[in-house]
A and B are shown apart, each in its own frame.
Chain A
Amino acid sequence: MSDPAIDIHSLEFAWKGQSRLLAIERFTVARGERVFIKGPSGSGKSTLLGLIGGVLAPQSGTIRLIGTALSELDAGGRDRFRGEHFGFIFQMFNLIPYLTVRENVLLPLQFSAARRRRIAGSEPQHEALRLLEALGLTVDGLLERPVTELSIGQQQRVAAARALIGRPDIVVADEPTSALDADTRVSFLKLLMHECGTFGTTLLFVSHDSSLSAQFDRTLSMSDINDLRAPAH
Chain B
Amino acid sequence: MAMPVLNLALKSLWNRRTTALLTISAIAVSVALLLGVQKLRTAAREGFANTVSGVDLIVGARSGPLNLLLYSVFRVGDATANVSWASYQKIARHPDVAWTIPISLGDSHRGFRVMGTDHSYFEHYRFGGTRELRFDSGGPFHDLYDAVLGADVARTLGYRLGDSIVIAHGVGNVSFAEHKDKPFRIAGILAPTGTPVDRTVHVSLEAITAIHIDWQSGMQAPEGFRVSADEARLRDLTPDSITAFLVGMRSRVMTFTMQRAINDYRQEPLLAILPGVALSQLWELVGIADTALMVIAAFVVLAGLLGMLTAILTSLNERRREMAVLRAVGARPRHIFALLVAEAGLLASVGVAAGVCLTYLLLLAGRPLLERRFGIFVGVSGLSALDLEVLGTVVLAALLMGVLPALRAYRNTLSDGLQIRV
Contact = CB atoms under 8 A, between A and B. Distances in A.
Asked whether A and B interact, the reply is yes
Interface of A: 46, 49-50, 53, 55-56, 75-76, 79-80, 82-84, 86, 88, 90-91, 93-99, 103, 107-108, 110-112, 162
A49 B328 CA distance: 11
Interface residues of B, number: 26
B214 to A, nearest CB: 87
A90 B15 CA distance: 22
B420 A111 contact: no
22 contacts: A46-B418, A49-B418, A50-B418, A50-B419, A76-B332, A79-B327, A79-B333, A80-B332, A82-B328, A86-B328, A88-B328, A93-B325, A93-B422, A95-B325, A96-B322, A96-B325, A97-B15, A98-B14, A98-B15, A98-B16, A103-B11, A110-B4
A56 to B, nearest CB: 6
Contacts of B12: 98
B357 interface: no
B417 A82 contact: no
Interface string B1-24: 100100010011011100000000
A93 B326 CA distance: 12
Nearest to A89: B328
B422 A53 contact: no
B329 interface: yes
What's the dominant secondary structure at chain A's contact region? helix
Contact of B1 (A82, A90, A111): A111
A53 B417 contact: yes
Contact of A56 (B15, B334, B417, B420): B417
Contact of B329 (A46, A56, A75, A107): A107
Nearest to B4: A110
Contacts of B8: 96, 99
B418 A162 contact: no
Nearest to B318: A97
A98 B11 contact: yes
A70 B420 CA distance: 22
Interface of B: 1, 4, 8, 11-12, 14-16, 321-322, 325-335, 417-420, 422
Contact of B11 (A53, A93, A99): A99
Contacts, number: 73
Nearest to B413: A55
Contact of A83 (B329, B333, B418): B329
A84 B384 CA distance: 49
B14 to A, nearest CB: 7
A109 B334 CA distance: 18
Contacts of B422: 93
User: Which of A82, A84, A95 has most chain B Cβ within 10 Å?
Assistant: A82
Given A95-B325, A97-B322, A99-B11, A55 B418 contact: yes
Contacts of A112: 330
Contacts of A103: 11
Contacts of B325: 90, 93-96
Which among B326, B331, B418, B419 has the highest number of chain A CB atoms within 10 Å? B418
